[in-house]
Chains A and B, each alone.
Chain A
Amino acid sequence: MRPQRKIGLVLLIMTLILAACGGGQSSNQTGSGSSTSEEKVKLTVWHNFAGDDLRAQTVRSFIDQFAAEHPEVTLDAQAIPTDGYRQRLSTVAAANEMPDVFLVYAGSQSAEFHQANLIQPITEILDAHPEWRDSFLDGAFDPYEFEEGQFYSAPIAMSATSMLFYNKALFEQHNVEVPTTWDELMTAINTFNDNGVTPIALGNKAPWVAQSTIIGAIADRVTGTDWFVNAVAQQGAKFTDPEFIEALGYFKQLVDNNAFQEGANSIDNTQAEQYFIQGNAAMMISGAWTLTNLAASATEEQMKDIEVTVVPAIPEGRGEANTITGGAGGGMALSSRTEGKAKELALELIYTMSGPEAQKAIAESNSMVMYDTEIDESKVTPLYYKAFNLVKSSGITPVYDAYLSAEAAEVINNGLQEIMMGGSVEEVAQRLQDAQARSATP
């Protein structure tokens, strides 16, 4: 009996020792961390510029620049791939362990972080550089001004989500005018269909695509921006109003006239871009990301036929023509737990990553910014240069999912897929109204 019990005891003790060892190690680590913090400030920065594309490299180079200029900072920069970025942030948010500086998206994500007191204003660094602050385009701070005069981030990207890309060669070959009004668009769609060319390429497997690129532009032309803002606030306007039903009706008209290729709901946006660039489709309504993707994958031969313009006007509608849905994109935010010397340096890091030089460099890496800057034509692709100037000369109207609650955005995303599958416009409008009403009046 005795020896066995001894073995058991020994095992138990060994387990405890092992556990103690584990604890000891981790406390050692934190100990050494805090002892060096007297001379060195530790900063963590999280962002999603993890790829090999030009923009990601540009942003990372500014982080490196900051690290080089500030030897007193131990900078822990984590580039997290975009697909998992949102979840990673949500996870650390749940544990209230945000990094000091991190990229937030404009819209519901940053609003939720603000509500949960996870971020603090960066107004002081903006006020310290007034010429920088004033060079942002109109509306750049809209998604980040949670209290009057308090800005929680400065955008380093702009989303322009509804440009009409078209294949000039196909239009010439089939003798079709580039559409500037809805009727002309319908004529173009019918002509292309008669000739066996897909009129509009769409990859709506991830269901935000049709919402982000098409419905925002159509609906704004029909209802006007004011109506949408009221409907989002659920004040004096509802998504069941006749004007919104009409807007969805225009989308249904596209579906009924076979504007999109078959199975658009089961292929993704990149596949649709490939389909379009290979000359299978005459048009594609898409956002600035398509510029980046095409620049990376298409040949020069393919690119020379591609032009870009705005979505056609709807003359009967109340909204303005010549607009593009878009707005401020993501920006760097500051954790509410970062204080003192670390906060000062964190603000400095935000300035390095989103200051005038960074904005110009990002714009010259073929991606849109919400900042008034001149770009060097020779440094960017011709299509991007056209789009950059198109956006500068067009009005900006809201993207639906940037303003709707997360739940309502999900409803309209799936609702558009449903309409594409023959669903009823009124039912989708009703469900969107219900979802938005739930979140507007908690």
Chain B
Amino acid sequence: MPTAMRSKGFIAIALLPALLIFLTFVIVPVFWSAYYGFFSWKGFGDATFIGLDNYTEMLKDPVFWRALRNNLILVVSSIIGQVPVALILAILLSKNSFFTRFIRSAVFMPMVLSTVVVGLIWGYIYHPQFGIANYVLELLGLESWTRAWLSDPKVNMLAISIPINWANIGPYMVIFIAALQNISPEIHDAAKIDGSAGWNKLKSITLPMIWGTVVVTIILCISGSLKAFDHVMIMTGGGPARSTELLATYMYNSTFAVYRYGFGSAVSTMIMVISALLIGLNYIITRRKPS
């Protein structure tokens, strides 16, 4: 017992520096920014305490709700578009041949590209005059489907979610491949003997065996989509007329375009609260499923 106690003390001391850094650069700023959320502040000069005014203004602002809706669209589209696709790819590509390695690298490649590059590439794909998206549609005889993908408010969120999914599938696929390789071969052999194969085996053996990984990827998807910023900033900047505003771009635009640091801080606090709620919800839902 005393040995365990001693090593616990040692662990605590060894963790201290990392903990201090984490506290100073992550936890403290979070509370700091929550604190600024109660002020009317331009980023410099005097700050005036205004209580919850920033929050009530935010909740009354239709743009905030649109940003939240857009974020939820992204969350749903990335859970539907990234996790299953990554899982299917992982199952198909878990064997090690030249061909599968090539496809794996191809799927992973956009992750290595800078998001600015991804944004610019897709900006050109969607270009209303010279874009390849419209060109392909015309070749297929679907002229009526061509449109200005990024400026038509009916489709632009969907158009934006495609490159975001495209760019993010890679790491999930790698995570799934690793999880699949962790399933011990005996289980596969046992499944074979019991006559389980195909969809049946996937549903009853593979998925339950990697369920923990699936939950983690969904959490990563949710938090990733709520933090989404760079692709949208490059492709549309939140426009036109704020139709593709996300919570993060809403915060950025309120802070830096109109010099309202207090309001921006309130928005970022709100983003954190919403993320925590969604991840909590996800935790409750996925915990009950496997049993």
Contacts and interface: CB of A to CB of B under 8 A. Distances in A.
A275 B258 contact: no
A410 B45 contact: no
A440 interface: no
A407 B255 CA distance: 11
A207 B240 contact: yes
B237 A90 contact: no
Given A4-B10, A414-B239, A421-B240, A118 B44 contact: yes
Interface stretch (A5-13, A57-65, A70-78): A5-13
B44 A116 contact: yes
Given A406-B259, A410-B258, A421-B151, A266 B43 contact: no
Contacts of A325: none
B256 A267 contact: no
A15 B44 contact: no
Nearest to B244: A266
A262 interface: yes
B206 interface: no
Given A90-B256, A206-B237, A1 B2 contact: yes
A415 B240 CA distance: 9
B128 interface: yes
A406 B258 contact: yes
A91 B261 CA distance: 11
Given A112-B42, A406-B259, A263 B128 contact: yes
A205 B148 CA distance: 12
A410 B151 contact: no
User: What band does the interface of chain A fall in when counting residues whose beta carbon is under 8 Å from B?
Assistant: 35 or more
A301 B240 CA distance: 34
B239 A417 contact: yes
Given A112-B259, A266-B150, A271-B127, A94 B240 contact: no
Interface string A239-258: 00000000000000000000
B113 interface: no
A7 B9 CA distance: 11
Interface string A88-102: 001101101000000
Interface in A397-418: 406-407, 410, 414-415, 417-418
Nearest to A275: B129
Contact of A410 (B149, B153, B257): B257
B38 to A, nearest CB: 17
A113 B10 CA distance: 51
Interface string B13-25: 1101100000000
Contact of B44 (A87, A94, A206): A94
Interface of B: 2, 6-7, 9-10, 13-14, 16-17, 42-45, 123, 126-129, 147-153, 156, 236-237, 239-243, 253, 256-261
Given A8-B14, A262-B129, A263-B127, 12 more contacts: A5-B6, A7-B10, A87-B256, A94-B261, A113-B44, A116-B42, A207-B239, A207-B241, A263-B150, A280-B129, A407-B258, A414-B239
